[in-house]
Amino acid sequence: MEKNIAITVKDLHISYRGLKKTSIRASWTKFLHKVEIFDALKGVSFEVEEGKILGIIGKNGSGKSTLLRAIAGIFSPDKGNIDLHNNSISLLSIGVGFNKKLTGKENIYLSGMLLGFSEEEIKKKEKEIIKFADIGDFINRPVKTYSSGMYSKLAFAITAILETDITLIDEVLSVGDAKFKEKSYNKMKELISDDHRTVIIVSHVLETIKELCNEVIWLHEGKIMMQGDPEEVISKYEEFMNK
């Protein structure tokens, strides 16, 4: 049986550019500053089959969030390409996707339309999203007044209820109170049970990755160190981190 590929990432390179640190005196005497280039991703390639759940692990600064944002279309590759094979996609990440001046309810519509849903489609799901988020009267207040927990609840509710073909999750399952963590975890398992939905999860919670994912990629300093069975990859990663 032919496999349907949902995501193809080929030879992906992404670099960040910034000014090198220098003293105040030096900045007064020099007009030109050297630009420091940080290579966040260095030739990353992989494919994800439709319906699979891929976990991405690695220490801080290894390029995990950069990779997710590139797949979501937020960052443009310096080299290489990403093919989503005409699938719709959503990114669930703290600090991404909301207009903080708008209310939670207004952001439901803004986020939904950015995901490609019509106003009518969002309206049908509005009550379900608000109920799942469970942030009370804050739904009618500007997002800038939200705690990180409330932000994550609403972001998760929107992404979970307005279902896209591909869902990218960046550490959000570990945010919020214990009750919401359990609810979001159960919702994720429900979403994952759909054989046509493809999910990529970035998390430091290795037990979550083990339980939810079919396959794991270990990123280290912008390169893939290992890819394969969750138990095997996580075991090697833990061994490496404990050296």
Q: Are 198 and 52 in contact (CB under 8 A)?
A: yes
Q: What is the pLDDT along the chain (243 residues), one digit of tens a residue?
A: 567 999 999 999 999 876 555 555 555 455 455 667 889 999 999 999 999 999 999 999 999 999 999 999 989 999 999 999 999 998 877 656 689 999 999 999 998 998 889 999 999 999 999 999 999 999 999 999 998 888 888 988 898 898 889 989 887 665 567 788 788 778 877 877 778 889 999 988 899 899 889 999 999 999 999 999 999 999 999 999 998
Enumerate domains of the chain plus CATH numbers. 52-75+88-241 (3.40.50.300)
Which is nearest to 113 in space by CA: 166, 162, 72? 162
pTM metric for this prediction: 0.81
As to burial, measured by CB atoms within 10 angstroms (0-12 exposed, 13-18 middle, 19+ buried), residue 73 is exposed
108 vs 130: CA distance, rounded Å: 9
In the three-class reduction of DSSP (H, G, I as helix; E, B as strand; rest coil), residue 184 is classed as helix
**Helical H runs in the chain?**
24-29, 64-71, 104-114, 119-133, 148-161, 178-192, 206-212, 230-241
